Structure 1
Amino acid sequence: MSAHLLPSHSPDGRFSMSVDSAEGYDMYQTEKEQPLLERVLQRLYLLLRSMRYRHGYRPLGPAFAQPRYRRVCFRLAYYVSVLLSAILLLVVLFSTCFPSYTHLPPHYLSLRERVSSSNYPGRGNPRNETVFIAASLYDPTGQLARGHWASSILQLIDLLGEDNVFLSIYENDSGDEGEAALKELDDRVPCNRSIVYEHLDIDELPKVTIPGGEERVKRITYLAETRNRALRPLDKPTTRYDKLLYLNDVAFDPVDALQLLFSTNIDDNGVAQYRAACAVDFINPFKFYDTYATRDLDGYSMGLPFFPWFSDTGNGQSRKDVIAGKDAVPVRSCWGGMVAFDAQFFQQDTRTNVEIAGDSLPARFRALRDENLFWDGSECCLIHADIQKPLHTEEGDEKNQVETGIYMNPFVRVAYDTKTLSWLWTTRRFESLYTLVHNIGDHLVGLPWFNARLGEVPGETVQDEIVVFDEKGEGSLQPIERVARHDAFCGRPGLQVVQPREEGKKGWQTIPMPT
């Protein structure tokens, strides 16, 4: 028998609906008055019941068939629909009235209008600054050199003015298709350039001895070397560059690259002031990607990887500035897929009066130099640790540092595919809704991760224990004395080494930490 609704009146005079004995439930509103979610649940319930009868199953027990249980079920569905409606309302409200990072500062709008109002080369470079663009690629399919990435690079060169740009691309072991695509791109580039494809022999790189006695190349050592090879043209001091723009294999808007270069943290004269300025990169429309290299102004690692990204641990200044919508959020390090540097830190003829936290100039990418084999850090964090303003001490106490010269610019966003990039302007409009949830989530999961070295003062001698390996690769725990370094905030426990690239495998592996 098919189910059919029969109107009835309860003893107290209220209108209700009932069905035949096979379906039987009471309701205090007509079907048309019910929320959509409740009607869907009812239809699903009827479908499941009919299937049970059709296949000879017993009906649901009498306890479930009682009206009070069904009312609870449908009332819960009603509350869920109300909650979803409230969330949708909040999204619309915040997108309309409180959008995040959508109202560009006046000088950002001015530069964008300057770009769109004409077609002459160099229109996006108002002071004709010279820019060295560097990239280290792995492009086995050739889609970077033939696709959106290459098109964006060529547009950016046009906006900067080809006479103001040097393009350096380094690629190794990407295969025949990658090499062919890179040669095609080389023919299209109108500016001075160094486009190199080669095989990098990892046996030429420094090695470490891992448990078991085998010698391997650290992943960070390899990555630092490939990034530095893209900087090799800077070793010839023939041209003085104002800016260095380092790019990952990201999808980006060329005008955003201009904003990062020339609009971040401007002074009273409208000139950008930074040692480094990073974009914000996304692996999907909501998730921040580069947590490995990013540290807030206090040196803490990231919170949950969605807006506002930083935790409130310590002073929480980076988090506060993101929530306030600032274009220059002070941090200790960042990367974000695209970074603009003050090029003086990377050139041979660097001014001698510039104070840095690192050991020497010109700066180059590197791996951590540490007695502990299982203490590692990103080369993209260490480069910022080296060129930032040093922490000063006064009477042995570490002073609170207002800024490092390193900034993150949340107005500038990139992605690792074009579809994600197309969504970023939409999702940023309501991302401020996440702030409370983000803070609660950080505390629930214990972010940021603990860094035992974060409180160390650079230059001081500290006691430590490390695992030391003998010739057989057997390890033992031994006490040591070491000098605290300025890059301690970049480190974390772990060790990754290079392995041959194979189908379905990464080009690196993690070595388990000994117990």
Structure 2
Amino acid sequence: MAKQAGLMRMRRLPTPVALALGVMLGMLLSRLFPWTNSTASWRTNTIPPKSHQQSRQPIQLPTLDKRARVLNLLTSLTPHYTKECTRNAQPLYSQQALERYAPLIGHKTPSTGSWFSKLFGDDDHVHGGSKELVPSDHKYFFAINLYNSFDVIPDLFATLFRVAAILGYHNVFVSIYENGSTDQTKALLRIFDALTRSVGMRITIRSSMRTRGAFNHRIEYLAEVRNAAFVPLHELRDAENEYFDTIIFMNDILPCIDDLLELIYQSRKNNAGITCAADYMYHQEIGAPVFYDNWVARDINGTALENAPFERIFHHEASSQRFQRHLPIQVQSCWNGIAILDPAPFYSPPHVRFRMARITEGECSASECSLICNDYWESGYGRIMMVPRVKLAYDRKVFDIIHPPRRNLTAIRGYARLGGLPDDPRTDPQDRAWFGPHDRLFTEEESEPLDFVPGPENVWCWGWDGAGDLDGPDVDPIWEPMSNKSRRADAVIVRHDRSIPGL
């Protein structure tokens, strides 16, 4: 009875008094249990201490069984493009990949087997025997633009799930900006939004009905769309003091798990400002895939790459030789489906962002992706590179051509090997082929750091000044002079150390 009487007296408290008591109680609890620690603001070109990069909304990580159930559902929605990438990988490649990407694992390995520990092979390979891997504080921000992407979304999310499981869900944030789609892209995104959150991965999906109007400049519009995917990057910095060490910007492509891991690996190993893949389209006249993004890609001499077969893509001879050997190459600019960006120029002055050319100042009206590469050079982050091993496609036809299945040559040709290594990429004709199997073995040269040199004096630019619905550049190409900053030796020094510990 006394308890009930006390409750009745509480209910008779005036509303202002009750609110005041609630506020005082809230303030007391906030002091006893603070959400975050204070941290220094972004200074020079270094990331603030990792221990202070905590979210105000702690993530409830689900169990491995729950994640496995979600992934099984995800697989049923996948039109089986990229899930075949490493399904039947040769054992030596699995071992190479596990050793190569083990430093990227951003979690403590569980004591029991799990679905992601078997990504490339057996549990023993992932765990390195009894060795326990230390969690990584390196944080990754995925930015994705989508438009009428219904066919590639399941593969895109399937890869994101598995890559985030390796990097550590707590280390990953995904930002997707979709606009103007007329297919079922928006509906499918809602499904994957729920699936992603159910495994504890942070994600923001923003959709809009906006399309480019007849009077909007194409490049200005594309720059705004790309910047829209970057909004959470700055929101997390301003609201929660959370910073990221690596940005992964993805187009609507079909990436394999190890494609993303290799780009991240090369980006961090070389402390690169921008790291790109190589993307391909089908050429009807040639009847084969050719290099696609030549409107953006320029070699280190500033010359445009060609929409051509692999042996004729580069005019720069040394780059062409490295490209044909699948070795990383320094370039002046690239994008090519996936670009790994050092975020420091976004955080620090002059605060680069996607933009259209300053045409009134005489700047050539290049792509927004070319211009951000130029701005990286201008900011002193001109370490830009392409990774030919990573071959990307935008549709199944090209994907199947550039990722052919591996064949058992011994069974087909009936020969016995006489000496030599059983899986040497220099002697296996399938690994030597340009469009060879996806599990092509690594060579020692692919792990050697690049020797970066200053940028060229001039860059080939084919401008796009028109605001209408033209299908390509509409002004005469020119050799555009680059600034003195990009030609200095300090344009390619390491300003922000993102290297992988132990490598």
Q: TM-score, normalised by structure 2?
A: 0.54
After superposition, the Cα gap between the structure-2 partners of 1:298 and 1:512, relative to the gap in structure 1 and judged at 3 Å, is: closer
Counterpart in the other structure of 2:332 = 332
1:167: how far off?
0.2
Taking the TM superposition and a 5 Å limit, the aligned residue runs for 1:22-33 are none
- Given candidates 397, 422, 445, the residue that maps to 2:400 is 422
- Given candidates 342, 366, 370, the residue that maps to 1:377 is 366
Taking the TM superposition and a 5 Å limit, the aligned residue runs for 1:277-356 are 277-284=275-282, 286-312=289-315, 316-326=317-327, 328-347=328-347, 350=348
Taking the TM superposition and a 5 Å limit, the aligned residue runs for 1:18-167 are 108=97, 110-111=99-100, 116=120, 117-118=122-123, 127-139=136-148, 142-145=150-153, 147-167=154-174
1:372: how far off?
8.3
2:259 corresponds to 1:261: no
SS at match of 1:408: strand
Counterpart in the other structure of 2:376 = 387
Counterpart in the other structure of 2:203 = 193
2:182 corresponds to 1:175: yes
**Distance in 2 between residues matched to 1:134 and 1:149, nearest whole Å:** 12
**Distance in 2 between residues matched to 1:432 and 1:168, nearest whole Å:** 32
**Distance in 2 between residues matched to 1:172 and 1:195, nearest whole Å:** 11
Q: Is the 8 A contact 2:277 2:392 kept in 1?
A: yes
Q: Which has the higher strand share?
A: 1
| Cα distance per residue 1:341-369 (max 9 Å; x no partner) | 1122222xx3xxxxxxxxx5322111111
| Cα distance per residue 1:254-284 (max 9 Å; x no partner) | 1210111023473xxxxx4211110111114
After superposition, the Cα gap between the structure-2 partners of 1:195 and 1:127, relative to the gap in structure 1 and judged at 3 Å, is: same
**Distance in 2 between residues matched to 1:317 and 1:125, nearest whole Å:** 39
Counterpart in the other structure of 1:82 = none
Q: Percent identity?
A: 25
**Distance in 1 between residues matched to 2:159 and 2:134, nearest whole Å:** 16
Partner letter of residue 232 of structure 2? P
Partner letter of residue 271 of structure 2? Q
| Cα distance per residue 1:476-502 (max 9 Å; x no partner) | xxxxxxxxxxxx626214434355xxx
Q: Is the 8 A contact 1:136 1:169 kept in 2?
A: yes
SS at match of 1:143: coil
1:425: how far off?
4.0
After superposition, the Cα gap between the structure-2 partners of 1:172 and 1:303, relative to the gap in structure 1 and judged at 3 Å, is: closer
SS at match of 1:283: strand
1:112: how far off?
5.4
Partner letter of residue 344 of structure 1? A
2:238 corresponds to 1:228: no
SS at match of 2:359: coil
1:174: how far off?
0.9
Counterpart in the other structure of 1:362 = 351
Return the index of the structure with the highest Cα Rg: 1
Q: Is the 8 A contact 1:291 1:305 kept in 2?
A: no
Counterpart in the other structure of 1:210 = none
1:408: how far off?
0.1
1:423: how far off?
3.1
Q: Is the 8 A contact 1:293 1:490 kept in 2?
A: no
**Distance in 2 between residues matched to 1:511 and 1:336, nearest whole Å:** 18
After superposition, the Cα gap between the structure-2 partners of 1:277 and 1:245, relative to the gap in structure 1 and judged at 3 Å, is: same
Q: Is the 8 A contact 2:326 2:387 kept in 1?
A: no
Structure 1: gaps spanning 5 or more residues: 1-102, 204-214, 267-271, 351-359, 392-402, 434-453, 458-487, 500-507
After superposition, the Cα gap between the structure-2 partners of 1:106 and 1:331, relative to the gap in structure 1 and judged at 3 Å, is: farther
Partner letter of residue 319 of structure 1? S
1:333: how far off?
0.4
Partner letter of residue 279 of structure 2? D
Give the paired residue count. 308
1:374: how far off?
10
Taking the TM superposition and a 5 Å limit, the aligned residue runs for 1:201-220 are 216-220=215-219
**Distance in 1 between residues matched to 2:161 and 2:155, nearest whole Å:** 10
Q: Is the 8 A contact 1:111 1:124 kept in 2?
A: no
- Given candidates 242, 245, 250, the residue that maps to 1:242 is 245
- Report the RMSD for the aligned CA atoms in angstroms: 3.6
Q: Is the 8 A contact 2:280 2:391 kept in 1?
A: yes
**Distance in 2 between residues matched to 1:110 and 1:329, nearest whole Å:** 23
SS at match of 2:253: coil
Partner letter of residue 144 of structure 1? V
Q: Is the 8 A contact 2:295 2:462 kept in 1?
A: no
After superposition, the Cα gap between the structure-2 partners of 1:493 and 1:152, relative to the gap in structure 1 and judged at 3 Å, is: same
**Distance in 1 between residues matched to 2:221 and 2:387, nearest whole Å:** 28
1:198: how far off?
1.1
SS at match of 2:340: strand
Q: Is the 8 A contact 1:414 1:421 kept in 2?
A: yes
**Distance in 1 between residues matched to 2:134 and 2:212, nearest whole Å:** 40
Partner letter of residue 331 of structure 2? V
Q: Is the 8 A contact 1:295 1:334 kept in 2?
A: yes
Q: Is the 8 A contact 2:466 2:474 kept in 1?
A: no
Structure 2: gaps spanning 5 or more residues: 1-91, 103-116, 283-287, 405-429, 437-454, 477-503
Q: Is the 8 A contact 1:288 1:309 kept in 2?
A: no
1:110: how far off?
1.6
1:152: how far off?
1.7
Q: Is the 8 A contact 2:212 2:218 kept in 1?
A: no
Counterpart in the other structure of 2:427 = none
After superposition, the Cα gap between the structure-2 partners of 1:235 and 1:108, relative to the gap in structure 1 and judged at 3 Å, is: same
Partner letter of residue 145 of structure 2? S
1:143: how far off?
2.6
